Amino acid sequence: HDPMAIHPYTHVDDPYSLYPHSPRNIDELCASVVRSHRETSQYRLEELQALRWKLFSREEIQVYQSKTVDKMWQHCAIQLTNAVQYVVEFAKHIPGFRMLSQNDQIALLKTGSMEVVLVRMCRFFNTENNTVFFDGKFAGTEVFKSLACGDLIAAVFDFAHGMCALKLSEQQIALFSALVLINADRPCLEDRGRVQRVQRSVELGLTHILHRDNQDSLMHKLYQRMAVLRSLCSLHMEKLRWFSQRYPLTAHSLFPPLYKELFA
């Protein structure tokens, strides 16, 4: 029978509380997450495919390389914040997310939004020449030279390369992104139990589509990528602290408010 028919007042955002894991609910959860990913992914894959060989010229690379450390940081912080804003939009439409307390929503975004940006980066990455879509064209690591954090950039590019090697479908990327975000192990959660329930449903969703795609073995690899993500994000925070000490003025008054709120 249809569980929704006898419980007509179940809130639409939390249809997982009564019959949490019925196949129908799992399908609906996957569909919502995939739709939310599609609507917040900025570029469709076909568009990115068409731009793939649009590279920065020698002269353009020179311009980035001769920027001052603080100007280049500011520029990148703005780009990252823009990407984070789409992730916040994505999160809002993950079934169950909006049922969490304001505090827990912010706590999850604080630790997870940058990780999701890095997951999403694989869509914007060309493995054939190790470039990422940045400022309208594809950029290699040399473009980021003036940030003076070559180790972080190398690690981020490495991660993108590894993610691309998994050849995830858009649906798999969507569910994996949701799982990265909805993590009951994050610090400062008020209602860990509730986050855990949402996490379980997302986990089931991902397991479901991997099984459907005959790729159950990917699950293990994705959990490994999650560990790498955590270390990348702590490296990002470390660099940010270093930068804020050296350039307190830029960090304080020229970084976007959201960037400061989430990472400072």
Q: Which residues bind ligand CLR (CB under 6 A)?
A: 42, 73, 76-77, 79-80, 83, 86, 117, 120-121, 124, 132-134, 144, 147, 149, 152-153, 156, 236, 239
- Closest to ligand CLR by CB, 16 vs 243, is 243
- Closest to ligand CLR by CB, 154 vs 188, is 154
Q: Residue written as tokens 């609507």? A: 39
- Closest to ligand CLR by CB, 107 vs 139, is 139
Q: Which of 119, 125, 126, 141 is nearest to 229 (CA)?
A: 119
Closest approach, Cβ 135 to ligand CLR, in A, equals 8
Q: What sign does the dihedral 261-43-177-142 (CA atoms) show?
A: negative
Q: Which of 48, 235, 233 is nearest to 131 (CA)?
A: 48
DSSP 185-209: TSTT-S-HHHHHHHHHHHHHHHHHH
d(CA 264, CA 251): 9
Closest approach, Cβ 79 to ligand CLR, in A, equals 4
Closest approach, Cβ 17 to ligand CLR, in A, equals 32
Closest approach, Cβ 40 to ligand CLR, in A, equals 9
- Closest to ligand CLR by CB, 70 vs 191, is 70
Distance of CA 103 to the CA centre of its chain: 20
DSSP 92-109: HTSTTGGGS-HHHHHHHH
d(CA 264, CA 256): 11
Closest approach, Cβ 201 to ligand CLR, in A, equals 25
- Closest to ligand CLR by CB, 87 vs 189, is 87
